[in-house]
Each structure stands twice: as structure tokens, then as C-alpha cells.
Amino acid sequence: MNPTVTHDMSVLSLVTGASVLVQIVMLILVLASLLSWYHIFLKMFSLSRAARLADEFERKFWSGTALTDLYQRSVEKRHSVGSLERIFESGFREFVKLRKPDMDVANVMDGVRRAMRATYQREMDWLESYLPFLASVGSVSPYIGLFGTVWGIMNSFRSLANVAQATLGAVAPGIAEALIATAMGLFAAIPAVIAYNRFAGDINRFSTRCESFMAEFSNILQRQAH
């Protein structure tokens, strides 16, 4: 009677017993997953902070506080204010600089809008940082895992050429370790895709909020210029 051959099918044994190329694929996916989670938490905190600071500034802005007092506060706390307050600061600074008796109001407001738009674009670029990385992890990781799976399965079937009698037990370990690469690819991709979609929506809403504020603030400055 032929002895029964048993294989250690634990995940750790399958990973350590995989071919070098499959192990490299797994390492890449683990690093991509760790980096994506790192950026997910950073982006979560930065967007939450941006929304909180915007709420605080809008409450002060619409409470009737003098624009000069708000501007002075923004200048003094330049490194701790939020995106909306930086947009206000740049617009009001340009307004004060350009507002002269012989200056056309339209030219003054054009300069104010350009200054606010430039600051707005910088703030959006900062908020959108690392979103392309999450998108790349979400779209590429499954394919990287699939490559490792195909390579592992191919090696499993190639090893059958040296076996007199092909059995499921002969190829099961190789196929199992190969499929781990696909599972790791999905594990890296799914959180990155969910986070990207969530953050993209949050940033889009915050962008609309900033644009609405710039339009309202421009109207206020235009009335003061007249």
C-alpha cells in the first residue's frame, strides 16, 4: 500500500514555500497595501481637519466680524489656518493692495479673483495629493496578484512532467500558494478603491464649498469697492 503524502497547507507554509518570483509579487502587494493604508489614514485626518477649520472660519466670517480683523488673524496664524481662510487671506490682501482711488473696480476684482483662484488651486492640489497612488494601487494590484497566480500555476503544471502519476495532491500546494497572490492583490486593491472614491467625493464637495465662498466674498468686496 502506498504511503499517503501530506502537505502543510497553512498560509505561512504556502508563502514560504512559494517560488521566488511569487514571493516577490507577494512582497510588492504587502508593501502597496501598507503604503495605501498609511495614506488612507493621513488623508482621512487631513480632510477632517480641513472641514473643521472651514466650519470655524465660516462661523466667524458670517458672524459680522470686520474683514480687517479676520485678515489680521489669518496673517498671524498663517501656518495653522485652513484652506478656506487662506483663500480669504489671499483675496483680501490683493484687494487692499489694488484698491486705489484711480483704480478701476473691474481690474481690482479681476486681481482679487486671480489671487483667490491661485490659492484655491494650491489647496486643492494639496488635498488631492496621494489620490493617484490610491487609484494606482486599486487598479494595478489585482493584475499583479493575477500575474503571481498564473506564474505559480504554470510552475505547478510544469512539475507534473517529472511525476509518473499526476494526482491532485501533487499540484494542490502549488495552486494554493499561487492563489494567495490573487487574494493579496484583492486585499490591497479593495480598500484603496473604496478610499479613493470616498476621498474624491469629499474633495469634490469641499471644492464646491470653496468656489461658493469665493463667489460670495467677491460680491462683498465688489460692494465695498464701489
Domain ranges in the chain are: 19-58+65-225
- Whole-angstrom distance, CA of residue 74 vs CA of residue 201: 28
Quick one: DSSP state of residue 210? H
φ, ψ dihedrals at 59, nearest 5°: -60, -40
Of the candidates 187, 162, 188, the residue with the CA atom closest to the CA atom of residue 174? 162
φ, ψ dihedrals at 79, nearest 5°: -85, -5
Cα-based angle 137, 127, 186 (whole degrees, multiple of 5): 15
- Whole-angstrom distance, CA of residue 189 vs CA of residue 173: 25
Q: Does the predicted TM-score (pTM) go above 0.85?
A: no
Tens-place pLDDT, residues 126-160: 999 999 999 999 999 999 998 888 887 777 777 66
Query: Identity (one letter) of the amino acid at 82?
Result: G
Q: Tell me the angle at which helices 83-98 and 105-127 cross, rounded to the nearest 10 degrees.
A: 160
Tens-place pLDDT, residues 187-225: 999 999 999 999 999 999 999 999 999 999 999 998 887
